[in-house]
Amino acid sequence: MEYRSTRGSGQGLDAAEAILTGLAPDGGLFVPKKCPKIDLEALLGKDYVEVALAVLQAFLPDYSKTFLKEALQSSYGAHFEGKAGYLTALSSQLYSLELWHGPTAAFKDYALQLMPKLLVEARRMLGRQDTTLILVATSGDTGKAALEGFKDMPGTAIAVFYPNQGVSEIQKLQMTTQEGENVAVFAIEGNFDDAQRGVKKAFGDRELADTLERRGVRLSSANSINWGRLVPQVVYYVTSYLQLCRKGVLRFGELLDFCVPTGNFGDIMAGWYAKQMGLPVGRLVCASNQNNVLTEFFKTGHYNANRPFYKTSSPSMDILVSSNLERLLFHASGDDEAVRGWMKELAEKGQYEVGKEVLANIQGTFSAGYADEETVGEEIRRVYEAYGYLCDPHTAVAFRVLHEGGALPRPTVVLSTASPYKFCEKVLEALGQQVPADPFEAIGLLEKTAKGQAPKSLTSLQGKAPRFTQTLPADEIAKAPLRLFPA
């Protein structure tokens, strides 16, 4: 199984090299040269870890089966409370794939529980002796999921930078109380963009890299463009399909649609790979919030990031440049020269346009829609009243897009990417409740209102003492690694 860059270089790498390298030297993303097929019908009776093993062995054949099996068990067994790939029915046609039963109550746990183990094993296989220091700028969810994934992983350390304006009280507590010997968390003065700019600057800082190298440290990222983050997400598309076959909703071979709340295009791209593996996927519906650059792209072939940026109640989807789309552009065109051209135009002019053939190819699988910010609260309430089902603002965007599309042509799975208890304020407001100022009171009120139970990983934060209380100006982010690894 060989990997290559979407922009032409790095031909013939194996999976471990692609995962350890992250971004290709030419700025492209690693993709498999040829998508493997697997016998999905043979997996019908299998549990989550067994299905995951089959999918991962197909994409990562250079990793040993023993290693993968252990890594999958420790990632998705007890940590997900037996709810890895949990699917619940809203109607006979509509299903919610609850991806937030992991240790940090975010769908990113699927990728970030496994990816650090793939990285550490890649280091071992390739004989790396230095320490890999992961730097993460976060608007909330990624930081915590990455901390939990890299906690005490041998040969690695992680530093997370969150904006002191912009993450919720709960998200802040999740990060500042993080346990582990190899972790550090810093508040950054400013917003997410300031934090991200600071981290990007640290990555581009030659002098910092040289100093760290002398100290035996190499910087890396846990960004969603890493192949090791994308591939774990293919699994739950497959398990959803198999579950619906077992329930008799589908006969093997019948098509299933998926609707995915999308930001950086990693999650929905995993669905595309599942389809290439042979999974009978009908449509992949790309749901955006008010930052609807992808909706326009899928309708017209014109990607235009020159537009206002909206801060919404679904912050993980507030993105104007969806990095993983580059993978789809490459597969749909098969032309790395064209990809280089589009990405150059995007960098220089903030926009590009693909030709008719590429667009038609993409439209063969993808549809797109978006939900305005005003309709999100309304949708949380509608879904609750229609189905007795509580959903968070990200998931509500997906439900809205489906709802506006009219009757479902076939069974459809909505990927539910965050626990509603992580976004209590918005959800309570949508249900017409007064929102208490204290975040734990808000969780309690939502539990009472919806007769549900919040994830323990959230309620157990109450009263926990923060370990990390430092605030840095954004332009001092580069100093943090030097402090963590003094001369």
Ligand X SMILES: *Cc1c(COP(=O)(O)O)cnc(C)c1O
Catalytic residue positions?
108
The region of 104-112, 328-336, 453-461, 464-472 touching ligand X under the rule CB under 6 A is: 104-112
Q: Is 194 in the site for ligand X (CB under 6 A)?
A: no
- Residue 179 CB coordination number (10 Å): 11
Nearer to ligand X, 132 or 291 (CB): 291
Nearer to ligand X, 76 or 100 (CB): 100
Q: Is 228 in the site for ligand X (CB under 6 A)?
A: no
The region of 102-110, 206-214, 242-250, 357-365 touching ligand X under the rule CB under 6 A is: 102-110
Q: Is 235 in the site for ligand X (CB under 6 A)?
A: no
Q: Is 367 in the site for ligand X (CB under 6 A)?
A: no
Q: Is 393 in the site for ligand X (CB under 6 A)?
A: no
Per the CB < 8 A criterion, the answer to whether 447 and 164 are in contact is no
Q: Is 217 in the site for ligand X (CB under 6 A)?
A: no
Residue count at the site for ligand X (CB under 6 A)? 17
| Of the residues 262, 288, 290, 457, which one makes contact with ligand X according to CB under 6 A | 262
Q: How far is the CB of 379 from ligand X (least distance, A)?
A: 15
Nearer to ligand X, 98 or 336 (CB): 98
Contacts of 207 (CB under 8 A, 6+ apart): none
Q: Is 239 in the site for ligand X (CB under 6 A)?
A: no
Helices (H), 263-372: 266-276, 293-300, 325-333, 336-349, 356-363
- Token duo for residue 31: 């993709």
Handedness of CA 470, 474, 477, 478 (dihedral sign): negative
**Residue 190, φ and ψ in degrees, nearest 5:** 125, -160
The region of 8-16, 193-201, 256-264, 460-468 touching ligand X under the rule CB under 6 A is: 256-264
Nearer to ligand X, 132 or 139 (CB): 139
Q: How far is the CB of 262 from ligand X (least distance, A)?
A: 4
- Residue 216 CB coordination number (10 Å): 10
Per the CB < 8 A criterion, the answer to whether 159 and 484 are in contact is yes
Per-residue binder mask for ligand X (CB under 6 A), 299-338, x = binder: -----------------xx---------------------
Per the CB < 8 A criterion, the answer to whether 461 and 174 are in contact is yes
| Three-state DSSP class for residue 429 | helix
Per-residue binder mask for ligand X (CB under 6 A), 335-354, x = binder: --------------------
Nearer to ligand X, 235 or 472 (CB): 235
Strand-pairing partners, residue 161, are 137, 186
Q: Is 417 in the site for ligand X (CB under 6 A)?
A: yes
Q: Is 295 in the site for ligand X (CB under 6 A)?
A: no
| Of the residues 106, 279, 376, 474, which one makes contact with ligand X according to CB under 6 A | 106
Q: Please name which of 62, 45, 203 lies closest in space to residue 136, comparing C-alpha atoms.
A: 203
Residues 158-177 that bind ligand X (CB under 6 A): none
Q: Is 51 in the site for ligand X (CB under 6 A)?
A: no
- Residue 34 CB coordination number (10 Å): 9
Q: How far is the CB of 244 from ligand X (least distance, A)?
A: 22
Q: How far is the CB of 263 from ligand X (least distance, A)?
A: 3
In the sheet that holds 217-220, the strands lie side by side as: 217-220, 131-137, 156-163, 183-189, 471-473
Nearer to ligand X, 250 or 269 (CB): 269
| Of the residues 156, 264, 291, 412, which one makes contact with ligand X according to CB under 6 A | 264
**Rounded distance between C-alpha atoms, residue 480 and residue 446, angstroms:** 39
Nearer to ligand X, 212 or 284 (CB): 284
| Three-state DSSP class for residue 197 | helix
Q: Is 267 in the site for ligand X (CB under 6 A)?
A: yes
| Three-state DSSP class for residue 123 | helix
- Residue 39 burial (C-beta neighbours within 10 Å; 0-12, 13-18, 19+): exposed
Q: Which residue has the tokens 């020269």?
A: 337
**Rounded distance between C-alpha atoms, residue 151 and residue 174, angstroms:** 14
**Residue 80, φ and ψ in degrees, nearest 5:** -105, 15
| Three-state DSSP class for residue 95 | strand
Q: Is 261 in the site for ligand X (CB under 6 A)?
A: yes
Report which residue type is found at 68: L
| Of the residues 28, 166, 198, 263, which one makes contact with ligand X according to CB under 6 A | 263
Nearer to ligand X, 108 or 123 (CB): 108
Nearer to ligand X, 5 or 264 (CB): 264
**Rounded distance between C-alpha atoms, residue 34 and residue 52, angstroms:** 19
Q: How far is the CB of 309 from ligand X (least distance, A)?
A: 16
Residues found near ligand X in the complex (CB under 6 A): 106-108, 141, 224, 261-267, 316-317, 394, 417-418
